Amino acid sequence: MSFLGAKSIFDQTLQDLYIEDESERKSVAFLLLEDGFDISKMDIILNKSVMIDELLLEEYVERINRQEPIQQIVGFTYFAGRKFKVDKNVLIPRPETEELISIIKSLQLDQPAILDIGTGSGCIAISLALELINSEVWALDISEGALKVAMENAKSLKASVKFLHEDILKEKSTELNLKRFDLIVSNPPYIRNLEKSQMKANVLDYEPHLALFVENDNPLIFYKRIADLGIEQLNKDGLILAEINSYLGEETRQLFEKKGYEQVEILKDFYGKDRFVKAKKGLV
């Protein structure tokens, strides 16, 4: 441990990071020092004398240079204004997914019962439980490792969420089967294996493939199951909101319409890409 000027630490970190784009390199350096060592931008601007574990910083920089996500290195990320633990068992929440929270809040649902399928870190379920007054939120995942992270996040954020270990492609538990919901929300696996070549190493090498990829010949397998589950367990006028593969927006819309859903919409994200499907349970 050493006392050093924050500006000199920042400059050295910039020099050691193997990131070609200068703007991205600065962003990563700021993020690493703030989230990993509690050194703020203001500390750096003022060149404040701070205590730093130089060996740990060196280790973190080496891991970033191996393209390990910085969120996994420091052990957390932010989603919808809250701090969530993340590790190798869960996807790192993306800014686009935060839009789901805004969309759902805009629906002004009255004391809704909500099911989050494939909860991962629990970021969607926990955010909804905290944002929607008198909501009842259930969340499930096939990964026990992911559920452990989600439960830790719910505890630290003081959110009331019921977590279940379930594989939705197989027979449901009796407990889940007996429950009815007003909203099903999901960010399921939707990236086709053929799209792996477009993925960055920090995703391919460090995030769980179970939560990312589907077979090329059945890319909508989870949406088919979510649609069927909605028919079985949504209340009258219940809704489904799910993140989708932007390349398969039209196919996803058609799937829900063929299943009897009404007012099926493909919603775009802030990049203008097809990102979500919204569907209302029909008279089926």
Residue 1 pLDDT class (50, 70, 90 cuts): low
Q: Is residue 73 part of a domain?
A: no
Pair (254, 198) in one structural domain: yes
Mark whether 39 and 124 lie in a shared domain: no
Residues 245 and 202 in one domain: yes
Same domain, 23 and 104: no
94 and 225 housed in the same domain = yes
Asked whether 147 and 119 are in contact (CB, 8 A), the reply is: yes
**Domain end position, chosen among 66, 95, 121:** 66
Q: Are residues 231 and 155 in the same domain?
A: yes
Tokens of 206: 């460090």
Q: Residue 198: inside a domain, yes or no?
A: yes
Question: What are the residues facing 77 on neighbouring strands?
Answer: 84
Q: What is the CATH number of the domain that holds 127?
A: 3.40.50.150
Q: Which residues of 117-148 are buried (b: 16+ CB within 10 A; e: fewer)?
A: bbbbbbbbbbbbbbbbeebbbbbbbbbeebbb
Over residues 237-274, the pLDDT tens digits come to 999 999 999 999 999 999 999 999 999 999 999 889 99
Asked whether residue 22 is assigned to any structural domain, the reply reads: yes
**54 and 97, same domain (yes or no):** no
Same domain, 58 and 181: no
Is residue 230 located within the same domain as residue 165? yes
48 and 132 share a domain? no
Task: Cite the annotated binding site for S-adenosyl-L-methionine by residue number.
Answer: 118-122, 141, 187
- Give me 127's structure tokens: 């955010």
- In a domain, residue 190? The reply is yes
3-state secondary structure of 182: strand
- In this predicted structure, the answer to whether residue 284 has a pLDDT above a threshold of 90 is no
Residue-wise pLDDT tens digits, 165-217: 999 999 888 899 999 999 999 999 999 999 998 888 889 999 999 999 999 99
Any domain includes 79: no
In this structure, how many other beta carbons lie within 10 angstroms of the beta carbon of residue 22? 9
CA 276 to chain centre: 14
Span 26-39, average pLDDT: 93
Query: Binding site: what residues are annotated?
Result: 118-122, 141, 187-190
How many domains are there within the chain?
Answer: 2
Let me know if residue 77 belongs to a domain.
no
Cα–Cα distance list, 68 to 4, 86, 118, 157, 282 (Å): 26, 13, 23, 26, 44
- Answer whether residue 78 is part of any domain: no
Pick the closest to residue 251 from 274, 280, 281 (CA basis). 274
Let me know whether 118 and 151 are in one domain: yes
Task: State the average pLDDT for the chain.
Answer: 94
Return binding residues for substrate.
Answer: 187-190
Flag whether 14 is in a domain. Answer: yes
| Distance between CA atoms of residues 155 and 97, nearest Å | 22
Domain span including residue 151: 87-280
Q: Are 19 and 29 in contact (CB under 8 A)?
A: no
Q: CA-to-CA distance for 69 and 166, rounded, in angstroms?
A: 28
Q: pLDDT confidence of 86, banded at 50, 70, 90?
A: very high
Q: Are residues 93 and 15 in the same domain?
A: no
